[in-house]
Amino acid sequence: MKSTTYSEKVLDHFRNPRNVGTLEGEDVSMGRVGNPVCGDLMEIYIRVKDNIITDIKFKTFGCGSAIATASMITELAKGKSIEEAEKITRGDVADELDGLPPIKMHCSNLAADALKAAIKNYREKGHQSEKEKRTLQKIIGIERFQDAGVYTKINDPQQLKDKRIIILDKGEESVSRACLLRELSPRVVFITPNKESLFNEEFKQKLHKARVKILYETEILELLGRKKIEKIKVHDLNEDEVYELFADAIIL
């Protein structure tokens, strides 16, 4: 029989849940996820100012573990930057609650997924973090090639079939794009400034499974070409070397 013993922290967050409710406003994004197996449903609302989650609320229809994990993840995410909050995993939630019974681990997964869904919706509204803005501002040629190889949205993926595609690391959304485009082209390169040891393990596994080439510790310096992108100039942060790669498209 699987253990269903709860820690004192789980019981505390179940009996006295933090940050229950909803948020409204233009600066609010909501993520909703559900588990069809157990019937749990969770919504997480985030208010973001200057790239920081200044307020966060949740609503859930589920068991005590679902309530506890939602309560805990709001505590973990509040006050953090979007990038920091995006890295919170179900393991982090379970650890902060001093563990969950194995049969209830899906609840921590639900809470982490709801937070990521809220962040994804925030990004889809067109928000960029200051870090992302600085990164893009450093890349020479973005404005010049805006309609000639530079993409922020992909309305028709088929137009990139068999193209040499460069994807800039912007988290889960860019990983999903890379995996999708790998089905259309064998020449997809994912570029991240992170070291392999610091890169999100889940993302890494998805990219490897899709056979996407990953360049760690790399940043894009410049886009090169005549009327459209032909090459990109990149900086190897580890070796401190600059070199060029052939490319037809860059996904920001």
CATH number reported for the structural domain that contains residue 55 in this entry: 3.90.1010.10
pLDDT confidence tier of residue 214, bands split at 50, 70 and 90? very high
| 136 and 112 housed in the same domain | no
109 versus 209: the higher-pLDDT residue is: 209
Asked whether residue 135 falls in the same domain as residue 109, the answer is no
Which tens digits make up the pLDDT trace of 170-209?
877 888 889 999 999 999 999 988 888 777 788 889 999 9
Q: Whose CA is closest to 245, among 151, 168, 174, 179?
A: 168
| 70 in the same domain as 53 | yes
- Does one domain contain both 161 and 215? yes
Which one, of 223, 250, 82, 102, lies nearest residue 166 by Cα? Answer: 250
Average pLDDT of span 92-117: 74
Active site (annotated) includes residue 63: no
pLDDT surpasses 90 at 232: yes
* Class of residue 52 by CB neighbours under 10 A (exposed 0-12, middle 13-18, buried 19+): middle
CATH code for the domain of 196: 3.50.50.60
pLDDT value of residue 39: 64
Domain membership flag for residue 2: no
- pTM here? 0.52
Q: Which amino acid, 244? A: E
Q: Is residue 219 part of a domain?
A: yes
Interatomic CA distance for residues 41 and 13, integer angstroms: 17
Stronger pLDDT, 138 or 156, i.e. the higher one: 156
Integer Cα distance of 3 and 1 in angstroms: 6
Q: Domain of 227? A: 130-251
Q: According to the 3-state scheme, what is the secondary structure of the chain?
A: CCCCCCCHHHHHHHHCCCCECCCCCCCEEEEEEECCCCCCEEEEEEEEECCEEEEEEEEEECCHHHHHHHHHHHHHHCCCEHHHHHCCCHHHHHHHCCCCCHHHHHHHHHHHHHHHHHHHHHHHCCCCCHHHHHHHHHCECCCCCCCCCEECCCCCHHHHCCCCEEEECCCHHHHHHHHHHHCCCCCEEEECCCCCCCCCHHHHHHHHHCCCEEECCEEEEEEECCCCCCEEEEEECCCCEEEEEECCEEEC
The residue among 124, 147, 164 that closes a domain is 124
Residue 3 has pLDDT above 50, yes or no: no
Shared domain check, 52 and 157: no
Residues 19 and 51 in one domain: yes
Residues 211 and 241 in one domain: yes
Q: What mean pLDDT comes out for the span 36-46?
A: 77
Residue owning tokens 């460069």: 166
Over 50: is that where the pLDDT of 2 sits?
Answer: no
The catalytically annotated residue of 23, 38, 63, 136 is 38
Residues 40 and 112 grouped into a single domain: yes
Residue 23 included in any domain: yes
Q: Which of 107, 150, 166, 247 is catalytic?
A: 107
- Name residue 93's amino acid: V
Residue 107 annotated in active site: yes
Task: Grade residue 141 by pLDDT with cuts at 50, 70 and 90.
Answer: confident
- Residue 1 inside a domain? The answer is no
Same domain, 104 and 200: no
Q: What is the mean pLDDT of the chain?
A: 84
Q: Tell whether 29 and 80 lie within a shared domain.
A: yes
Total domains in the chain come to 2
Residue 101 lies in a domain: yes
**104 and 70 together in one domain:** yes
Residue 223 lies in a domain: yes
What span, in angstroms and rounded, lies between the C-alpha atoms of 239 and 236? 6
Give CA–CA dist 170/161, Å, rounded: 22
Give the Cα separation of 121 and 127 in Å (integer): 10
